[in-house]
Structure 1
Amino acid sequence: MVKLRLSIMMFAQYFAWGVWLVPLSTYMSKGLHFDTIIGAAYGMVGIATIASTLFVGMIADRFMAAEKLLSILSICAGIVLFWVSTIQTSQSLFLFGCLLHFLFYASTIPLATAIAFNSMTDIAKEFPGVRVWGTIGWIVAGLLVGVIAGAAQTALPMRMAAIVYVALGLYALTLPNTPPRARGRIVSASAVLGLDVILRHREKAFWIFIACTLALMTPRSFYDAYGNTFFADKDLHLTLFGTRIEATAIQTAGQIFESLILVSLPFVLLRLGIKWVLVVGMGAWAVRFLLFGFGYQGATAIMPMVLLGIIIHGICYDFLIVSGQIYVDRKFDAEARSRAQSFFNLITQGIGIVIGSNIAGLVYGLNANADGSHDWRAIWMVPAAIAFVAMILFAATFREKLAPPQDEQSGAAEPVLS
């Protein structure tokens, strides 16, 4: 029953996140005509991630039970998001509302993980079966929005998410008690962000890996911020049994195939090694944007090309981010692993997203036409070029001397759903 309760928590959390974040750019572009701030809005996720890491690590872990704080933050996230859904004229107010919501929500991700971990006796065996319900929640959310005609261009997904956030907040009060993990300990900001162990690391290969991973967060931000807008603009859809399936639902094919990729990742790592898995992941991003850039004629998507670009999401994401988490885990001893993962999360979910989203917004704005349309080929060639250059530099310069791990326990962070 505990696993069932935790699975419901994961499902609700990621359903609420995916049901509105994926179509957000389409709503801002088609519904609000806030095109100029789409990149900035998605960049707020990175700012909130940095702030939430400090909040959970320095405050939440020391003063309040995780399930109670999850309840408060989820309810606040829902209330703020509903308010944001009513903003239709002020771009600055809309951005502020998004930031406020993200600040509340971003902190719930590590809290939910802490609740799950605290309730398990064998995390390695039990957690994947619980966490997969988060992915299922994300997929169901995309399918739901995708079968409601025109929903992505309205505030409906935001209001759906707001209701689920509040429901999750109330449900959290029934979850197993998870007392503060760091009560009585003095914790510094540098330790919470992992800087105390990372800055002492001198291996050149590690910093090449960090630099290239940071660079790849810009292509990732292009997809997160403008993928759904592009698909809607090119009328990407399917018709099944008389029902029109729109772009938001089709995008869930990426998460479905990602689940298969994730299962096969240990085998691929064993056969190819960490370097070439990372190279393939970087190259997949370049291939994805080439498929998008040439995958349309006029206002119509070329389905096979665009669908392939969506399906390879697992290679793009898992071969880079999840493999990166595994690499970081193997580079540090057991005592330092959690802080090293905090630093990797800071790079991939925080700093990288802030930089990447704003670059994506700038490129999107520079390629706007007088009639309000956009030169998508020119837009997608930028992240394709960044990914290709990063891949070449990484393949040519990464020379790793990997010492065997000191123990067999993994302290890798939970993979974050993309």
Structure 2
Amino acid sequence: MSIKFRLTAMSFLQFFVWGAWLITVGNYWFATKQWSGEQFGAIFSTLGLSSIIMPAITGIIADKWINAEKLYGILHILGGVALFYIPQVQDPTTFYWVIFAAMLCYMPTISLSNSVAYNVLKNNQYDVIKVFPPIRVWGTVGFIAAMWLTNLTDNKASANMFYIAAVAAIALGIYSFSLPKCPPQKLISENATLAQKLGLDAFKLFGTYKMALFFMFSMFLGAALQLTNMYGDVFLSEFGKMPEYAESIIVKKSTLIMSISQISETLFILAIPFFLKRFGIKRVMLISMFAWVLRFGLFAYGNPADGLWMIVLSCIVYGMAFDFFNISGSLFVETTTDSKIRSSAQGLFMMMSNGFGAFFGGLISGYVIDTYFTHDGARDWHNIWLSFAGYALVIAVLFGLMFKHKHVPEDVAEIAH
């Protein structure tokens, strides 16, 4: 098998593991277990905590002591074991700790998979910029395939979603040991400070108003991302409680409908170079923020009948909302930070959005929904989504007013080509 095919298989399985349960776990939590919304918010906060704690630690281990592909495999096998155990859990507190253990293993594998792919491609004289994106796209395809499998096998509310994820994780863990070797690079100096070893020297960027502002808004947008991951499928499934919608495709195939979001994501990636070149980084990030307003607002007014188009359009808009901020934000970091701390700065960007953003977004949204928008066990989805839309609108307006950045076409020339 070719190197590119082997890395494509790795990318596919990497996100298949996640897609098998991430979007549908809310159905298992609320419909099958009937646990509280506030506790559910804590479950999604484990993604953020794991993103804060683990990537730096595993990065040091891979740089200094263990082959990256072996560490990658070990983490997936351990994570798979944790996922296998989840169906045996009968209380929300234990569920939290088991899913936290699974996420401590899974979240660092996202960056490790990139490291393995880059290493293998460079060692085989491939053009990474040209070859890696088509490989990474298959990760999104894997995520979609897992969502479809979970829904089409009628497991969007059953414990079997965790077994599907576990089998894929362990299979990927075993498979990774067959990948080309990625030995430790020992790039970290023995005389480096602890802050340098942990990549914490990038935190000095908070001393700059513009960068501090950017990272704070990254956290706020990271929280918005988790809202639809947490509640999107639950929202669509709960239309089934209304007799007029109980047999609709939105209810029966909710996960398939939600997968339009991931399909859209793959398509909007192709549009990013055009938008960046024409409008610049700040405007593209603003477009992303207003897309989040539209995403939530369309959900607020959509339904499985005459409002079906709103739900579908909301899923399409997701691709713009998600991709435009992540890619343009990454480019902003690339073009405005010192090359000596650029990798650490990129890590800080991801820590603020996928780490702190996901952590606080999960906890606070669970509390707010449970306290203010749940009455006699029924969730007021219309006002839930409107409140989320208002949140995104406030962020967009404040970002537009406070964040100053001049569009320099040369900064985006490389990505545009």
Does the alignment reach a TM-score above 0.5? yes
1:343 and 2:348 are equivalent in the alignment: yes
Match of residue 274, structure 1, among 264, 269, 281: 281
- Does the 8 Å contact 2:298/2:310 carry over to 1? yes
Deviation digits for residues 265-320 of structure 1 (CA, Å, limit 9, x no counterpart)? 011011111111111110111111111112138xx783111111111111111111
CA distance in 2, matches of 1:184, 1:337: 15
Match of 1:136 in 2: 141
- Matching residue's letter, 2:57: F
CA distance in 2, matches of 1:153, 1:325: 35
SS at match of 1:130: helix
1:98 and 2:99 are equivalent in the alignment: yes
Deviation digits for residues 40-69 of structure 1 (CA, Å, limit 9, x no counterpart)? 001100111111122123223211001111
Q: Once the 2 structures are TM-superposed, how far is the Cα of residue 402 of structure 1 from its aligned partner?
A: 6.7
- Does the 8 Å contact 1:63/1:183 carry over to 2? no
- Does the 8 Å contact 1:261/1:314 carry over to 2? yes
SS at match of 1:296: coil
- Does the 8 Å contact 1:82/1:158 carry over to 2? yes
CA distance in 1, matches of 2:194, 2:311: 43
Match of 2:303 in 1: 296
Q: Once the 2 structures are TM-superposed, how far is the Cα of residue 200 of structure 1 from its aligned partner?
A: 4.2
Q: Once the 2 structures are TM-superposed, how far is the Cα of residue 354 of structure 1 from its aligned partner?
A: 0.4
SS at match of 1:54: helix
Gaps of 5+ in 2: none
Match of residue 175, structure 2, among 168, 171, 176: 171
Match of 1:60 in 2: 62
Match of residue 38, structure 1, among 37, 40, 51: 40
- Does the 8 Å contact 2:205/2:211 carry over to 1? no
CA distance in 1, matches of 2:206, 2:409: 16
Q: Once the 2 structures are TM-superposed, how far is the Cα of residue 408 of structure 1 from its aligned partner?
A: 8.6
CA distance in 1, matches of 2:363, 2:57: 24
- Matching residue's letter, 2:179: L
Match of residue 145, structure 1, among 134, 143, 150: 150
**Cα gap change, 1:200/1:373 in structure 2, threshold over 3 Å: closer, same or farther?**
closer
TM-score by length of 2: 0.90
1:162 and 2:166 are equivalent in the alignment: yes
CA distance in 1, matches of 2:130, 2:80: 32
- Does the 8 Å contact 2:70/2:176 carry over to 1? yes
CA distance in 1, matches of 2:28, 2:267: 31
CA distance in 2, matches of 1:287, 1:244: 22
| Aligned residue runs from structure 1 range 5-84, under 5 A | 5-36=6-37, 37-84=39-86
- Matching residue's letter, 1:53: P
**Cα gap change, 1:409/1:237 in structure 2, threshold over 3 Å: closer, same or farther?**
farther
**Cα gap change, 1:245/1:4 in structure 2, threshold over 3 Å: closer, same or farther?**
farther
Gaps of 5+ in 1: 411-418
| Aligned residue runs from structure 1 range 193-272, under 5 A | 194-200=199-205, 202-235=207-240, 246-272=253-279
Q: Once the 2 structures are TM-superposed, how far is the Cα of residue 191 of structure 1 from its aligned partner?
A: 3.3
**Cα gap change, 1:58/1:402 in structure 2, threshold over 3 Å: closer, same or farther?**
farther
Deviation digits for residues 179-206 of structure 1 (CA, Å, limit 9, x no counterpart)? 0123663455533664413414654333
- Matching residue's letter, 2:264: F
Q: Once the 2 structures are TM-superposed, how far is the Cα of residue 161 of structure 1 from its aligned partner?
A: 0.7
| Aligned residue runs from structure 1 range 356-375, under 5 A | 356-375=361-380
- Matching residue's letter, 2:50: A
CA distance in 1, matches of 2:408, 2:203: 17
CA distance in 2, matches of 1:264, 1:238: 36
Task: Say which is worse superposed, 376-385 or 185-194, in terms of deviation.
Answer: 185-194
Q: Once the 2 structures are TM-superposed, how far is the Cα of residue 246 of structure 1 from its aligned partner?
A: 0.9
CA distance in 1, matches of 2:31, 2:177: 38
**Cα gap change, 1:215/1:18 in structure 2, threshold over 3 Å: closer, same or farther?**
same
Deviation digits for residues 337-370 of structure 1 (CA, Å, limit 9, x no counterpart)? 1111010011011011101111110122014544
CA distance in 2, matches of 1:189, 1:31: 46
Q: Once the 2 structures are TM-superposed, how far is the Cα of residue 239 of structure 1 from its aligned partner?
A: 7.6
CA distance in 1, matches of 2:291, 2:410: 29
- Matching residue's letter, 1:20: W
- Matching residue's letter, 1:191: Q
Match of residue 329, structure 1, among 331, 334, 357: 334
Q: Once the 2 structures are TM-superposed, how far is the Cα of residue 10 of structure 1 from its aligned partner?
A: 0.8
Match of residue 185, structure 1, among 189, 192, 195: 189
Q: Once the 2 structures are TM-superposed, how far is the Cα of residue 173 of structure 1 from its aligned partner?
A: 0.9
Match of 1:415 in 2: none
Deviation digits for residues 201-260 of structure 1 (CA, Å, limit 9, x no counterpart)? 6543333222222222222221111111111112489989xx996111111111112111
Structure with the largest fraction of helix? 2
Match of 2:383 in 1: 378
Q: Once the 2 structures are TM-superposed, how far is the Cα of residue 395 of structure 1 from its aligned partner?
A: 1.1
- Matching residue's letter, 1:48: S
CA distance in 2, matches of 1:238, 1:3: 43
Report percent identity of matched pairs: 32
- Matching residue's letter, 1:344: F
- Does the 8 Å contact 1:46/1:350 carry over to 2? yes
**Cα gap change, 1:200/1:328 in structure 2, threshold over 3 Å: closer, same or farther?**
closer
**Cα gap change, 1:312/1:401 in structure 2, threshold over 3 Å: closer, same or farther?**
closer
**Cα gap change, 1:342/1:394 in structure 2, threshold over 3 Å: closer, same or farther?**
same
**Cα gap change, 1:154/1:198 in structure 2, threshold over 3 Å: closer, same or farther?**
same
- Does the 8 Å contact 2:74/2:173 carry over to 1? yes
CA distance in 2, matches of 1:332, 1:237: 53
**Cα gap change, 1:403/1:99 in structure 2, threshold over 3 Å: closer, same or farther?**
same
- Does the 8 Å contact 2:57/2:198 carry over to 1? no
**Cα gap change, 1:314/1:222 in structure 2, threshold over 3 Å: closer, same or farther?**
same
